[in-house]
Chain A
Amino acid sequence: GQQLNQSPQSMFIQEGEDVSMNCTSSSIFNTWLWYKQDPGEGPVLLIALYKAGELTSNGRLTAQFGITRKDSFLNISASIPSDVGIYFCAGPFSSGSARQLTFGSGTQLTVLP
């Protein structure tokens, strides 16, 4: 199956700092997705990227679809306590009769006051 390498595994930052995390793959993806999961909740879709080189923002979040289509980056500016959670990258691939998503292993973000 497809594998996504996500880094870093965890981050501890001060409130107000900027955050950057990335995801790489050995295969080409036509879509990159970024999710956030709060403790005890299901992941929520933050940003979807559909085109190589695309840069998309959602408030303080900015994500980029790498030009090689094998990587993606998520940046969070001016972090706040509610940014705490696990961030996952994901990409779809075809298997059998349906599209499936493969997920990175996640980046655990802790924001210190």
Chain B
Amino acid sequence: SQTIHQWPATLVQPVGSPLSLECTVEGTSNPNLYWYRQAAGRGLQLLFYSVGIGQISSEVPQNLSASRPQDRQFILSSKKLLLSDSGFYLCAYGQTNTEAFFGQGTRLTVV
């Protein structure tokens, strides 16, 4: 069966510090992978998506970047966090180009 793992669950980071959130998918190959951000418990905003290793598309300009070093690994990064980067980050995968399945999310608080 297919599963998605995202960690950490919560993170408190100071302004200006780097960020690395990791997401891995099991039980499937060559999935589409997505990073979403959700502010204030509403509104899922697509940040990045990837259709294959090393292929990243960005939806919105921001202080974040994404990488896909392996087929089932998707990483969200920042060199220097801003206060406005706080939020709930969700990784998701899709196999059929229709549904998307989400990880548990990471609550990031930048202080």
Binding site for B on A (CB under 8 A): 31, 33, 35, 39-45, 48, 50, 86, 88, 90, 92, 96-101, 103, 105-106, 108
Residue in chain B with minimal CB distance to A44: B102
Say how far A94's CB is from chain B's closest CB, in angstroms.
8
CA distance A42 to B32 in the complex (A): 17
Say how far B8's CB is from chain A's closest CB, in angstroms.
13
Q: 17 interchain pairs (CB within 8 A)?
A: A35-B102, A41-B104, A42-B104, A43-B102, A44-B102, A50-B98, A90-B100, A92-B98, A96-B57, A98-B97, A99-B97, A100-B46, A100-B49, A101-B34, A101-B94, A101-B100, A106-B42
Question: 5 tightest A-B contacts by CB?
Answer: A42-B102, A99-B97, A103-B44, A98-B51, A42-B105
Binding site for A on B (CB under 8 A): 6, 32, 34, 41-44, 46, 49-51, 55, 57, 90, 92, 94, 97-105, 107
Chain A residues near B51 (CB-CB < 8 A):
97-98
A42-B90 CB under 8 A given contacts A98-B32, A100-B49, A106-B42: yes
A106-B43 CB under 8 A given contacts A97-B51, A97-B55: yes
CA distance A39 to B100 in the complex (A): 19
B98–A42 touching, CB < 8 Å:
no
| 16 extra interface residue pairs, beta carbon distance < 8 Å, beyond A33-B98, A99-B94, A101-B46 | A31-B98, A33-B99, A40-B107, A41-B105, A42-B6, A42-B102, A42-B103, A42-B104, A42-B105, A43-B90, A45-B101, A48-B98, A48-B99, A86-B42, A99-B32, A100-B46
CA distance A67 to B96 in the complex (A): 23
CA distance A40 to B102 in the complex (A): 12
B41–A86 touching, CB < 8 Å:
yes
Chain A residues near B44 (CB-CB < 8 A):
43, 88, 103
Residue in chain A with minimal CB distance to B6: A42
CA distance A103 to B39 in the complex (A): 14
Chain B residues near A39 (CB-CB < 8 A):
41
Q: Which of A33, A100, A103 contacts B43 (CB 8 A)?
A: A103
Chain B residues near A86 (CB-CB < 8 A):
41-42
